[in-house]
Structure 1
């Protein structure tokens, strides 16, 4: 999406999401609260509708699972939705400006997880690029190349989102292609807003050569201060200059492209398309709404999320919901406990700490993940004890739901294990590993192909074997 073969212009860095966030945390200044990520919500909804699983409300189930994966990470998130004034034509289709049917449930899930969101006045990608340029976020998560075209400095795409891996491709635009060059490439080779697919015979490589002549900057500079009424006059003048460049050939063109001149339409470039690329509607635009705030840490609304899951999904009784939360929610609570400890050690503003007070649920480290083919080379396997208060919030919230059995009052607390970011853990709790046997186990693991670790969740006489490929197996002694 965006520009055909546009992603091939960049060489992404493939890494795990955990390691990306760890690198941001390690290099953060004392005033920073963690990595900040802006997410293209509309792209998520588009993908969720094509995620077919045998469950009630499969699109919502897909969104819940993906939100849970991000909730496990020490990242401050903001989701941006397309707004009511987005372009009416895109990808040769007419876009309805009505609210997507999935939007309401998606926003309810975001409220449950405690993630920030808002509606852009126009395109979400343009709004996210604006936030990137204003340094309110560190990266944009989107599958749409237009995010880079609008000026985003860093864009993240999903590489592998399986149960065992969460790999991302990180695209950094270190002025290799300024936005005005990417706009020129889109106009020449075809983009989302251009129904004619650009100039016939002009592929991505040729478009890059032409854009590097400075013709794109010339157009952007000419339109910077002109009124909308002058757009057509300016674009026609630019068309003449483009034809001169193609006929005469200028550096760094490898050769002249006279044959392309005959394929340039008389009305090229379309003034409306140029305006959509160079003057997208954003909160910062003249007449736009107030500027959005920087994403801040927040806690989930456990009762609201539990009640919503009971309504949307056929998970069974409250104990089944607790089991699901063990996979998708409770590890994120532990990450927020670590964030709070990290903020406290750095002397973060008191008002942040007062409004961000997760309950202590982290017990002890069990093992260290060191297989890069898994999610990360730097995760700790930690035991968590979910407090009676959290369990009560879940059971009381789902009691009486139409598809949930009344919960048994005997469930008081819950013990689960989760992989937590090692870098954040050691920044937040420097002495966390001092009293554990983890280091001895890891030293022993280096001398042996596997090591046997006692597990408090197993019956006496059983143990968990942590083998070299990080697969857990139960063995009997």
Structure 2
């Protein structure tokens, strides 16, 4: 979706990173989880196309949510608003109707995981881009290239299908450095080539020719002025005509030598450019940008900046009903998928809590410091250490105390129905055997070093290597984007 072949044009700027690598980098350098804006409609469409069966789409999203939680990522799921166009490129677009059982279940799942949601004014990708421009999120996850036209700076193109899988990531600064194209150039390409909102474009102009014309920069000063003046100020028709004439002359004569050849037969539409589209790209209407939404936006930012634990009891009951899982089968799945995530997030919280304490210790602290007692009981031993190349961090293998797992199961059991769905799955595996499968786990070394330094006198599994910041998704300093 978006501009035809735009991904190919900007491909020289592509860098490959795994979700795990980005998440680890955020904790190391920003001391918080990675914040991602997710275009819900596209995400659900991708999930639906990869699964078959009853409730399979929602179940697929559940396992994606588990992965986000385990990596400590703080997502905001952005839903299309009521003002989104019904058609793109003359076709009905994929969206999620408001009054459907799937949408209601998805919203419940988001709430039980304590993730954030946001409802766009119109296009979800415009809202995602604005969230990123305002610094509320670090990254946008979408496959729609229009997100760059709306002003997104950092984009992950698709959801990785397996752990540690590198996926295409883009930053507008990388795009400008590698291709010479900034945001205003991409907007001009959309006007010339056609986009989701103007399917015609200009006959005889493909994406490559449009990109070559963009390098001439005849449009930049005009679009910069539109950026400064906003939606309501009328355009200077004389300047618009100058831009039209310059583009036409360049097509016919190739004065700047930016084109690979002359295009004497190409004629721009007399109404080119459609500045209603330009305005919508440069100044998209969004809920996050409205004054009336300031308090909601503040709450969203606060929620994204703080780690949140799922509502375990409600989440377990929801999954049993939605997926028709017997109670023992649910405990088995939650143990294998979510208990490791639960423990690593417990470590992160304890380490962050310890780091935040800067005051002198008082005598009564020794009588009421429950966190210290938790730290003493959480880990039995650290068995080995190694350097994990996939995330470029040091990790160690720990053995959890069984009381942690018992406590985790108690959070789940309160509202489970032990008589429901018994015919659906094999329910015979004893509960006691489950802990043996999850009691050992690789975890980042830093929180262990902070909380349990006395446990680290163990043999290293692999020669340690220095951490390099040259291959992580670091957003460099940049000029003010258009």
Q: Normalising by the residue count of structure 1, what TM-score does the alignment of the two structures yield?
A: 0.77
What pairs up with 1:306-385 in 2 under 5 angstroms? Answer: 306-316=316-326, 318-347=327-356, 361-366=378-383, 372=389, 379-384=395-400, 385=402
Q: 2-side partners of 1:376 and 1:322: how far apart? A: 33
Please report how far the alpha carbon of residue 312 of structure 1 lies from its aligned counterpart in structure 2 after TM superposition.
1.1
1:279 equivalenced with 2:283 (yes/no): yes
2:386–2:461 CA contact under 8 A, matched in 1: no
1:192 aligned residue: 196
1:182 aligned residue: 186
Question: Relative contact order, CA 8 A, sep 6+: which one is greater?
Answer: 2
Q: 2-side partners of 1:382 and 1:391: how far apart? A: 20
Alignment partner of 1:324: what SS? Answer: helix
Q: Which has the higher strand share?
A: 1
1:203 aligned residue: 206
1:199–1:260 CA contact under 8 A, matched in 2: no
Q: Give unmatched runs, 5+ long, in structure 2.
A: 360-368, 465-482
1:15–1:167 CA contact under 8 A, matched in 2: yes
1:253 aligned residue: 258
Against the structure 1 CA distance between its residues 231 and 133, is the aligned structure 2 distance closer, same or farther, given a 3 Å change threshold? same
Of 233, 236, 244 in structure 2, the residue corresponding to residue 239 of structure 1 is 244
Q: Normalising by the residue count of structure 2, what TM-score does the alignment of the two structures yield?
A: 0.76
Q: 1-side partners of 2:432 and 2:189: how far apart? A: 61
Q: 1-side partners of 2:191 and 2:357: how far apart? A: 47
2:68 aligned residue: 70
Against the structure 1 CA distance between its residues 46 and 138, is the aligned structure 2 distance closer, same or farther, given a 3 Å change threshold? same
Q: 1-side partners of 2:105 and 2:139: how far apart? A: 25
Please report how far the alpha carbon of residue 60 of structure 1 lies from its aligned counterpart in structure 2 after TM superposition.
0.4
What is the Cα-based RMSD across aligned positions, in Å? 3.8
Q: 1-side partners of 2:235 and 2:91: how far apart? A: 24
Against the structure 1 CA distance between its residues 187 and 381, is the aligned structure 2 distance closer, same or farther, given a 3 Å change threshold? farther
1:116 aligned residue: 116
Q: Deviations over 1:27-57 (max 9, x none)?
A: 22xxx53322222222211112212234x30
1:16–1:376 CA contact under 8 A, matched in 2: no
1:38 equivalenced with 2:47 (yes/no): no
Of 267, 282, 297 in structure 1, the residue corresponding to residue 271 of structure 2 is 267
Against the structure 1 CA distance between its residues 89 and 260, is the aligned structure 2 distance closer, same or farther, given a 3 Å change threshold? farther
1:392–1:412 CA contact under 8 A, matched in 2: no
2:80–2:121 CA contact under 8 A, matched in 1: yes
Against the structure 1 CA distance between its residues 100 and 335, is the aligned structure 2 distance closer, same or farther, given a 3 Å change threshold? farther
Please report how far the alpha carbon of residue 349 of structure 1 lies from its aligned counterpart in structure 2 after TM superposition.
11
Most deviating of 266-275 and 187-196 = 266-275
Please report how far the alpha carbon of residue 335 of structure 1 lies from its aligned counterpart in structure 2 after TM superposition.
2.5
Q: Deviations over 1:74-101 (max 9, x none)?
A: 3222221111122333233244784273
Against the structure 1 CA distance between its residues 304 and 115, is the aligned structure 2 distance closer, same or farther, given a 3 Å change threshold? same
Against the structure 1 CA distance between its residues 41 and 424, is the aligned structure 2 distance closer, same or farther, given a 3 Å change threshold? farther
Most deviating of 119-128 and 2-11 = 2-11
Please report how far the alpha carbon of residue 61 of structure 1 lies from its aligned counterpart in structure 2 after TM superposition.
0.9
2:23 aligned residue: 21
Against the structure 1 CA distance between its residues 98 and 166, is the aligned structure 2 distance closer, same or farther, given a 3 Å change threshold? same
Please report how far the alpha carbon of residue 24 of structure 1 lies from its aligned counterpart in structure 2 after TM superposition.
2.5
Most deviating of 153-162 and 227-236 = 227-236
1:431 equivalenced with 2:430 (yes/no): no
Please report how far the alpha carbon of residue 378 of structure 1 lies from its aligned counterpart in structure 2 after TM superposition.
5.1
1:456 aligned residue: none
Please report how far the alpha carbon of residue 426 of structure 1 lies from its aligned counterpart in structure 2 after TM superposition.
4.7
Please report how far the alpha carbon of residue 379 of structure 1 lies from its aligned counterpart in structure 2 after TM superposition.
4.7
Figure out how many residues of one structure are paired with residues of the other and give that number. Answer: 428
Please report how far the alpha carbon of residue 137 of structure 1 lies from its aligned counterpart in structure 2 after TM superposition.
1.6
Q: 2-side partners of 1:173 and 1:362: how far apart? A: 44
1:183–1:216 CA contact under 8 A, matched in 2: no
1:334–1:362 CA contact under 8 A, matched in 2: no
Q: 1-side partners of 2:61 and 2:27: how far apart? A: 26
